[in-house]
Structure 1
Amino acid sequence: MSTAPQTPRRSPFSRGQKDDGPRASFRQLLPYLFEHKKVLSVVIGLSIIGAATSLAQPLLVSQVITVVQKGQVLGGLVWALVGLVILSALLSGLQHYLLQRTGTSVVLSARRQLVRRMLRLPISEFDTRRTGDLVSRVGSDTTLLYAVLTQGLVDAVGGALIFVGALIAMLVIDPVLLGLTVLVIAVSVVTVVLLSGRIRVASRKQQERVGDLAASVERALGAIRTVRASNATDRETASIEKDAVGAWEQGISVAKISALVVPIAGIALQVSLLVVLGVGGFRVASGAITIANLVAFIFFLFMLIMPLGQAFGAVTSVNQALGALGRIQEIISLKSEAEDDAAIEPAAPGDSAAAISFDDVVFTYPAGAVAPTSVDPSTSSGTETEVKDLTVLHGVSFTAPRGQRTALVGPSGAGKSTILALIERFYDPTAGVVRIAGVDIRALDREALRAQIGYVEQDAPVLAGTLRDNLTLGAPNATDAECIQVLHDVNLTEVLERSPLGLGAAVGEEGVMLSGGERQRLAIARTLLAAPPILLLDESTSSLDGLNEQLLREAIDAVAENRTLIVIAHRLSTVVDSDQIVVLEHGRVVGVGTHSELVTTTPLYRNLAKHQLLV
């Protein structure tokens, strides 16, 4: 079984090749609303009461005019009218608060779903997606769901009641005037329906451009020191501004279409009002209706057009939200790692003497993915490369005995880091089998598997936060004393003493407050603190000087007793004492043995050893 997709994907580095992407339907929006159905039910109830109070006002105004015309005393009619106005205002304020609160809750729910899904996606998904674009979906796209509630949808429900009530009242007052009014409104509704689809497409494209902008900003800020040192600030600024202009242009496209929709309600009101005044005045003169009825009809006309404007606004906001929801659902619909394994029968580890074994393993990265490569300290500062030759392992077979140290050596691009990624089940083999204790690791629960493994990546990532946050990432129950001891073991006592906050001292974004060697030692300390039975160390001493390398080796040797180690290293001193060395070239095993054996049997290893393995 392989989780690595074999269908070629668009490279994350390509631009201008996007399709419209999946579009969400209104049905996909409903679960977000139904999650808050109790509050929305209250809001709808308030809308019904508010609609009733609004519809009663023109009727009272008509009665007031009639009473005045007859010279009678108004009595309680005025106070009833004032009471309806105050009640309507109070209901509107309460409804507004509940909608704002519910809209914020909908955004929170969408963000929770997105974050939970994103952090559980197969690693292969991150190989082909831009981090900034994913961040944009959590921030910008989810915000548009807020507009669905706060800018029209539920308001439109109450507005629909007023609309229907106003129609009925206008029908009772004068069917002729109503017919003319409906004719004008029908034209405006047809126009809005024709424009709504274009709003959804334009909105989605706008969100994609915002995602491109976020990705470009994240890219530049993540490498700001390199950008400055390369005098590339102006070029990066121009690139980001280009994406900003692209987002602006799409925003203008949305604004143009929306500009056609928004005035329609106003135009419908003006035309309808002119028709009602003209024809209504003639009908009053002919005695078909009274002045009081005409005034009431005009009030109802305003009530008819107002919810129509709300409905048009709802069409715009809902279509914008559906465009963003399509991008949200695109991520939520992806399978998580756990779902990939749903059909697998979990197995318990066996008793094989080999802690880890590779049996004729072939691995192919998905097209456009970014794969880890070995680093040549003398010529390269990068740790990743876009995959061009997709198949990086060709029939790899070896065993790592339990409780022993196995070193992986070979030129850059030989597949060493990929082997560690397969052991961690970041990917599954395209062919062949990886086993732990004799059991195919694809039959093991990923979390249980990774609990047995400590993995130090070659770029030694440090998370923004404190020293304690970083150390306890894999050992959340570790005490402060244990954290301090492991920092001492990797010669980071000086870092601990720099700040009076001790373990609470911040390390900065991506560990910027630490040197490269300190970041590497902190990453190793994090793994040593967890003390798992299997340790995977990828270039774990590449940034260290001789003294710190020696101290670190001693710390690793102390914690490695009775543990299985697989080490990738470029220094002969790190490799020479290994129980077993596996030599790789172009994704194939070309030699297995001890240092003394390989020097005599494997020309590639002999050449690497001659140059102190600095490749």
Structure 2
Amino acid sequence: MFGRRRGDDGPRASVRELLPYLFPKKGLLTAAIVLSVLGAAFALAQPVLVQEVIARVEDTQPLEWLPWLLVVIVIVGALSDGFQHFLLQVLGEHVVLLTRRTLVARMLRLPISEFDARRVGDLVSRVGSDTTLLRAVLTQGLVESIGGVLTLVGAIVAMLLIDPLLLGLTVLVLAVAIAAMLVVMPLLSRASGKAQEQVGHLTSALERAISAVRTVRAAGATEREVEGIGARAGDAFHAGVRVARISAFVVPILGVAVNVSFLVVLGVGGLRVATGEIVISQLVGFLLFLFLMVMPLGQLAGALAAVSVALGALGRIQEIARLPSEADADAVTALTVRPGAPMVAFEDVSFAYPAADDERVVLEGISFEVPAGSRTALVGPSGAGKSTTFALVERFYDVTGGRVMVGGVDVREVDRDSLRERIGYVEQDAPVLAGTLRENLRLGAPEASDEQLLAALDAVNLGSLVSRSSTGLGAEVGEGGVLLSGGERQRLAIARALLAATPILLLDESTANLDARNEAALKAALDVASEGRTTLVIAHRLATVVDADQIVVLDGGQVLATGTHEELLESSPLYRELAAHQLLAPERPTVVE
């Protein structure tokens, strides 16, 4: 019934996969189970004592200590149930905490290709709402059901001893109700999984709109986005209503079964009392045990419903947990640079993004070397494959052909962390994390002092950011760095890379958003920062790379030419065209015949 499956209703988990999540704190779990057993014992003792009290009253015998014992059992049982509820709530929070930590650790280690293929909002939904549903399995489900089962068995045994005929009639009525519930549960399980999937779609749509809210408003698309997200919310609503509609069958079925059982026992039992086959105390005791039997049945129904919902959520969690992380296939060898080898080398490298439907080749047979301590620039039109080369050096992706070498070693043969410790990377869109200047700068250099942070900001002409706010380095940059200009975000990302002091520096379009003044200041800072480092720069502004040790011209995923600025002006028509557009190539004299 609860086997793992995946179809139109989304991924499903099995009960066996759920069990490991229930044991994060074995001590708490054991205590909760012990209290559940004690609660069952206290509950079963109450009808026995009540039956004895009634029997003594009928026989005009003294009650003695029985009423006091009954009061003590009721009070102790209530305290036991309250403490058990507290333990289960705490245990449930531990389950959610463990699951969230495990899921976040897995998500942040997924291959980059998985993030390219998935919506951020859906991933956030799995960490948020899906993990929360696992709590219900403990607080409303399995652990409480242990005591419930004991109460159920004890009540059935006691009822059998009192009157087998009444028990048989009761079991017959309840069996019909249980059969009906077992038919409903698979429907509830599938509907719950679909509801969680719709919540994930809603979260994704909302995250997309919020992250691009300025673009949405500038395009006059606010109302369309509101309608689109509203439609997603409507889908989630309808999926939730379907869950409610299906689960609503459970309560009436159980309620009708209880009422019918009570009426049957009252009617038949009253007749048997009248004929002298049982006494009134036995009938009262039987009715009390009947209510005790119904309560755990309700708990079991709740447990089944909770498990059904949790399996849908766990299926979505396990879908991510089963994905291989970058480290799963990583080599464990640390990077050791071989003396005399080029710091970076591409050897007949070909690459196609795995998520591309047409598997279009982005790079095809490119080769070039970057000597240690040199500065190499990659230039070419958009779509030439420049940024892809950096992704391969960082091992965000692995080549489909050829080799990428760092320090004379194939990057696929070394541990990713060891590789990336040697590389400072400034991405094309220069992402800035929400938080403070200090937090952003220390992302790659957590031990850096405030003096070092200030020096890095001054090096990229960002010292004014500190004096702009009374909090200094504690100034907030906003979500995605929205409180900074585009040029400031780029320079902050470069300062972050400079602080890491890595031997290799990758700068992807690092001057795209800078004005002429800041570009000149940044170029001077990079000249200083590049000393003793191997630097690879991607730039559309050739003025920033004309003095590079070598320039590699890329187009259509292939290397067209390699050389210095002056050499390429003579040998590469594409480079000469790019330089002429930026007024960096001398005009060729017009020949007059």
- Shared fold, TM over 0.5: yes
Instruction: Name 1:205's counterpart in structure 2.
Output: 194
CA deviation map 1:69-104 (0-9, x unaligned): 122222211111111110111001000000000001
Instruction: Name 1:475's counterpart in structure 2.
Output: 445
CA deviation map 1:301-322 (0-9, x unaligned): 0000110011001100111001
Q: Is the 8 A contact 2:377 2:537 kept in 1?
A: yes
Q: Is the 8 A contact 1:354 1:436 kept in 2?
A: yes
Report the AA paired with residue 336 of structure 2. Answer: A
What is the Cα deviation at residue 612 of structure 1? 1.8
Instruction: Name 1:250's counterpart in structure 2.
Output: 239
Asked if 1:118 corresponds to 2:107, the answer is: yes
1:108 aligns with one of 93, 97, 108? 97
Task: Trace 1:387-466 onto structure 2 (pairs within 5 A).
Answer: 390-466=360-436
Q: Is the 8 A contact 1:582 1:589 kept in 2?
A: yes
What is the Cα deviation at residue 538 of structure 1? 0.3
Backbone CA RMSD of aligned residues: 1.5
Report the AA paired with residue 67 of structure 2. Answer: V
2:487 aligns with one of 512, 517, 528? 517
What is the Cα deviation at residue 613 of structure 1? 9.0
The alignment partner of 1:354 has SS state of coil
Report the AA paired with residue 340 of structure 1. Answer: A
Asked if 1:543 corresponds to 2:513, the answer is: yes
Instruction: Name 1:143's counterpart in structure 2.
Output: 132
In 2, distance between residues paired with 1:485 and 1:408? 29
Question: Given the two structures, how large is their TM-score scaled by the length of structure 2?
Answer: 0.96
Change (3 A) 1:613 1:362: farther
Instruction: Name 2:219's counterpart in structure 1.
Output: 230
What is the Cα deviation at residue 508 of structure 1? 1.0
1:184 aligns with one of 152, 173, 194? 173
Q: Is the 8 A contact 2:333 2:415 kept in 1?
A: no
In 2, distance between residues paired with 1:109 and 1:197? 28
In 1, distance between residues paired with 2:247 and 2:340? 67
| Bigger Cα displacement from structure 2, 159-168 vs 26-35 | 26-35
What is the Cα deviation at residue 464 of structure 1? 0.7
Task: Trace 1:16-95 onto structure 2 (pairs within 5 A).
Answer: 19-95=8-84
What is the Cα deviation at residue 348 of structure 1? 2.6
What is the Cα deviation at residue 389 of structure 1? 5.8
| Bigger Cα displacement from structure 2, 533-542 vs 388-397 | 388-397
What is the Cα deviation at residue 186 of structure 1? 1.2
What is the Cα deviation at residue 21 of structure 1? 3.5
Q: Is the 8 A contact 1:462 1:510 kept in 2?
A: yes
In 2, distance between residues paired with 1:520 and 1:604? 28
What is the Cα deviation at residue 38 of structure 1? 1.9
Q: Is the 8 A contact 1:124 1:366 kept in 2?
A: yes
Unaligned 5+ segments in structure 1 are 1-16, 369-386
Report the AA paired with residue 492 of structure 2. Answer: L
The alignment partner of 1:353 has SS state of coil
1:349 aligns with one of 337, 343, 346? 337
Instruction: Name 1:592's counterpart in structure 2.
Output: 562
In 2, distance between residues paired with 1:591 and 1:236? 46
CA deviation map 1:49-78 (0-9, x unaligned): 111111111111111111111222222111
CA deviation map 1:323-345 (0-9, x unaligned): 00000011111111111115x65
In 2, distance between residues paired with 1:267 and 1:154? 26
Q: Is the 8 A contact 2:335 2:419 kept in 1?
A: no
Instruction: Name 1:502's counterpart in structure 2.
Output: 472
Report the AA paired with residue 474 of structure 1. Answer: G
What is the Cα deviation at residue 229 of structure 1? 1.0
Instruction: Name 1:324's counterpart in structure 2.
Output: 313
In 2, distance between residues paired with 1:564 and 1:154? 60
In 1, distance between residues paired with 2:236 and 2:509? 41
2:348 aligns with one of 344, 349, 360? 360
In 2, distance between residues paired with 1:390 and 1:37? 52
Q: Is the 8 A contact 1:367 1:390 kept in 2?
A: no
2:258 aligns with one of 269, 289, 295? 269
CA deviation map 1:549-583 (0-9, x unaligned): 11111111101002111100011211211111111
Instruction: Name 2:150's counterpart in structure 1.
Output: 161
The alignment partner of 1:413 has SS state of coil
What is the Cα deviation at residue 438 of structure 1? 1.2
Unaligned 5+ segments in structure 2 are 1-5, 585-593
In 1, distance between residues paired with 2:453 and 2:355? 41
CA deviation map 1:111-142 (0-9, x unaligned): 00000001111111101000000000000100
| Bigger Cα displacement from structure 2, 188-197 vs 319-328 | 188-197
Instruction: Name 2:161's counterpart in structure 1.
Output: 172
Q: Is the 8 A contact 1:572 1:613 kept in 2?
A: no
Instruction: Name 2:540's counterpart in structure 1.
Output: 570
The alignment partner of 1:570 has SS state of coil
What is the Cα deviation at residue 359 of structure 1? 0.8
Q: How many residues align?
A: 579
Change (3 A) 1:351 1:592: same
Change (3 A) 1:324 1:529: same
In 1, distance between residues paired with 2:583 and 2:305? 63
In 2, distance between residues paired with 1:198 and 1:37? 33
The alignment partner of 1:395 has SS state of strand
Instruction: Name 1:279's counterpart in structure 2.
Output: 268
In 2, distance between residues paired with 1:142 and 1:518? 38
Q: Is the 8 A contact 1:570 1:613 kept in 2?
A: no
Question: Given the two structures, how large is their TM-score scaled by the length of structure 1?
Answer: 0.92
Bigger RCO of structures 1 and 2 (CA < 8 A, at least 6 apart): 1
The alignment partner of 1:589 has SS state of strand
Report the AA paired with residue 261 of structure 1. Answer: V
In 2, distance between residues paired with 1:563 and 1:607? 30
Instruction: Name 1:604's counterpart in structure 2.
Output: 574
